[in-house]
Amino acid sequence: MSRLVHAASSGAIAALLAGAPAFAQAPDKAFSHAIAPKKIAEECVKLAAGQSIAYSFDASAAVDFNIHFHKGNDVAYPVKRDQVERGDDRFTAPTAEDYCLMWTNGTAQPVTVKGVVKG
């Protein structure tokens, strides 16, 4: 079994040294955003086609949430949820893109959003 672990870790190191994309080895990222009234906050991650992330968050008040990416002047929204206070899901990228998780505070009061994105 130790040979298998050694071989696996050697392979991972070789892939890193060979220029494997950094986002494929992305660590978990905790975040906390204090979103001013009528403003947004984002967490962005580069994903290869078929690569997935898990995400979870809690907001102090309802926010609009989406995962989006830009194609020229167009914006595509693979995930879109209105007026949510929490989220806990997995997203798999249909194509290689820079994807952004975005929270919009539509209220007149500041809202705090805390969570984690797991690679």
At the second CATH level, the architecture of 23-118 is: Sandwich (2.60)
Cα dihedral value 71, 76, 79, 81, nearest 10? 130
DSSP secondary-structure letter at 93? -
pLDDT at 13: 41
Contact 36, 61 (CB under 8 A): no
Q: Where are the domains of the chain?
A: 23-118
Q: What is the pLDDT along the chain (119 residues), one digit of tens a residue?
A: 444 434 444 444 433 333 333 344 456 899 999 999 999 999 999 999 999 999 999 999 999 999 999 999 999 999 999 999 999 999 999 999 999 999 999 999 999 999 999 98
pLDDT at 6: 40
The two three-digit tokens of residue 11, written as one number: 């392979």
